[in-house]
């Protein structure tokens, strides 16, 4: 507990839970896309990009095919640019054959209001025309402000608006975990 800010943290997923959730999502993607031949996993930086790479590894283990993986920076497509301090631009990295006629699976860590996904759809529209777009998230915490729903969810985690969900990824943070922080704000 952080007494200075009166916050209480509780781990809702640890590394093994995250691994199992990603394995399940990988199987669901393969089932829904009939083997995953034409999929492109596009991670939304920062942790969505890490999760997309992990999903690709799991799909390769199960199906024996290596899915295309990339990242899609949505910074300049966000509708809150004028409301928040400037943020660093991420990188959009697409495979050489692009997104056209692919089944694009957008991958993000937390689905909340839906505004980041809306920005991702706008960014995706500027780089090509996929055959279909699906959404995979590690955590869906509710509180949608836009009509957006994930196709693949690792964990549904009902929260209040005064709580924060924080995802840690080994590749970035040195550990895998999902924390629910009470009293942490939006």
Dump pLDDT digits (tens) for 112-162: 999 999 999 999 999 999 999 999 999 999 999 999 999 999 999 999 999
User: Per-residue confidence at 1, pLDDT binned at 50, 70, 90?
Assistant: very low
Q: What secondary structure does DSSP assign to 130-185, as a single string?
A: -SEEEEEEEEE----SSS---SEEEEE----TTEEEEEE-HHHHSS-EEEEEET--
Q: Please list, in sequence order, all residues whose beta carbon lies within 8 angstroms of the beta carbon of residue 176, skipping any fewer than 6 positions away.
A: 14, 15, 18, 19, 168, 169, 170
Q: Is 99 helix (H, G, I), strand (E, B) or coil?
A: coil
Q: How confident is the model over 92-109, as pLDDT tens digits?
A: 899 999 999 999 999 999
Q: What average pLDDT does the structure give for the chain?
A: 92
Note the CATH architecture for domain 14-83+90-157. 3-Layer(aba) Sandwich (3.40)
What separation in angstroms does the CA of 40 have from each of 1, 67, 141? 41, 6, 25
The tokens 């999760």 sit on which residue?
51
User: Per-residue confidence at 7, pLDDT binned at 50, 70, 90?
Assistant: confident
Is residue 42 within 8 Å of residue 72, measured between CB atoms?
yes
User: Per-residue confidence at 82, pLDDT binned at 50, 70, 90?
Assistant: low
pLDDT of residue 85: 65
pLDDT of residue 140: 98
Q: Please list, in sequence order, all residues whose beta carbon lies within 8 angstroms of the beta carbon of residue 154, skipping any fewer than 6 positions away.
A: 13, 18, 21, 22, 24, 25, 137, 138, 139
């Amino acid at each position: 507990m952080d007494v200075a800010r009166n916050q209480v943290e509780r781990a809702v997923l640890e590394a093994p839970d995250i691994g199992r959730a990603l394995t399940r999502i990988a199987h669901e993607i393969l089932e829904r896309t009939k083997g995953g031949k034409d999929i492109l996993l596009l991670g939304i930086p920062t942790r969505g990009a890490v999760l997309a790479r992990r999903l690709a590894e799991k799909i390769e283990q199960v199906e024996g095919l290596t899915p295309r993986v990339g990242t899609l920076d949505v910074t300049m497509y966000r509708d809150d640019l004028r409301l928040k301090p400037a943020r660093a631009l991420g990188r959009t990295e697409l495979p050489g054959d692009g997104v056209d006629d692919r089944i694009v699976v957008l991958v993000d860590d937390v689905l909340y209001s839906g505004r980041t996904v809306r920005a991702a759809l706008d960014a995706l529209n500027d780089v090509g025309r996929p055959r279909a777009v699906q959404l995979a998230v590690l955590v869906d915490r509710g509180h949608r402000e836009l009509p957006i729903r994930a196709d693949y969810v690792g964990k549904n985690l009902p929260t209040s608006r005064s709580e924060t969900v924080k995802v840690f990824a080994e590749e970035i943070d040195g550990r895998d975990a999902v924390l629910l922080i009470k009293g942490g704000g939006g």
